[in-house]
């Protein structure tokens, strides 16, 4: 009963956060012996720490920056025109105001369509680039699997703890770094989707 009350008090007073922090500073884990034939690999870490994975991340940031610049420039021009039209409302006849407002709305709608198109293109570019990294990595993973006489390979990110001696990730990263450091790619250009889709 006292243990339950103490647990409730810990949770209610922010003790959970303190307990988690205390756990994070606990002594390092002592692993048992590596299990023969059991291996782990972190695809996320391999991509994130490999030279080519870092290159793809940097290149994607450049592409996103280019898209943002393009869209921001166009949006700023639309916003500036909207402010100018709003300032001139009182001096324009109804027909002229309506014509200019409709034209402005058409430009804004086109900008929204373009922004959605660019988003799809950026996503397709990222997917294609990281697929290429995975394809380059795949034979190296298989080679490390065979060299280490693995019988089973677990995704390390799905395993709570594993003996580092069973981890193929550093070997795969080293192999990928020798094989490929970068490759050229630009933003994918996708066909425009019809309005309303």
Q: 36-84, pLDDT tens digit by residue?
A: 999 999 999 999 999 999 999 999 999 999 999 999 999 999 999 999 9
**Could you tell me the two tokens for 144?**
């490390």
Percent of the chain clearing pLDDT 90 (strictly above) = 80
Whole-angstrom distance, CA of residue 7 vs CA of residue 13: 10
pLDDT class of 184 with cuts at 50, 70, 90: very high
Contact 190, 63 (CB under 8 A): no
- Chain mean position to CA 81: 35
User: What's residue 196's pLDDT?
Assistant: 56
Contact 49, 173 (CB under 8 A): yes
Q: What are 4-46's pLDDT values in tens digits? A: 333 333 334 444 444 444 445 677 889 999 999 999 999 999 9
The residues, ordered by sequence, that sit 6+ positions from 150 with a Cβ below 8 Å of its Cβ are 37, 38, 39, 168
Helices (H), the chain: 2-12, 15-24, 43-49, 51-88, 94-147, 169-179
Whole-angstrom distance, CA of residue 58 vs CA of residue 54: 6
Single pTM value for the model: 0.77
Contact 140, 176 (CB under 8 A): yes
Percent of the chain clearing pLDDT 70 (strictly above) = 85
**Could you tell me the two tokens for 163?**
């003996």
pLDDT class of 197 with cuts at 50, 70, 90: low
SS3 category, 89: helix
Whole-angstrom distance, CA of residue 25 vs CA of residue 40: 25
Angle between helices 15-24 and 2-12 (to 10 degrees): 90
Q: What are 104-161's pLDDT values in tens digits? A: 999 999 999 999 999 999 999 999 999 999 999 999 999 999 999 999 999 999 999 9
DSSP assignment, residue 157?
Answer: G
Q: What are 149-171's pLDDT values in tens digits? A: 999 999 999 999 999 999 999 99
């Amino acid at each position: 009963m006292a243990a339950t009350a103490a647990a409730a008090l810990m949770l209610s007073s922010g003790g959970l956060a303190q307990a988690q922090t205390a756990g994070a500073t606990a002594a390092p884990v002592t692993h048992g012996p590596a299990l023969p034939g059991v291996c782990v690999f972190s695809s996320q870490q391999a991509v994130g720490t490999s030279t080519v994975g870092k290159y793809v991340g940097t290149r994607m940031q450049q592409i996103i920056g280019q898209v943002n610049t393009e869209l921001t420039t166009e949006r700023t021009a639309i916003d500036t025109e909207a402010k100018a039209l709003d300032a001139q409302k009182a001096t324009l006849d109804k027909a002229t105001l309506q014509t200019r407002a409709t034209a402005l709305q058409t430009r804004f709608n086109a900008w929204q369509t373009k922004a959605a198109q660019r988003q799809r293109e950026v996503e397709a570019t990222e997917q294609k680039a990281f697929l290429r990294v995975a394809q380059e990595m795949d034979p190296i993973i298989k080679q490390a699997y065979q060299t280490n006489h693995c019988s089973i390979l677990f995704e390390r990110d799905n395993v709570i703890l594993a003996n580092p001696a069973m981890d193929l990730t550093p070997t795969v990263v080293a192999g990928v770094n020798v094989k490929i450091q970068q490759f050229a790619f630009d933003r994918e250009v996708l066909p425009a989707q019809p309005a309303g889709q």
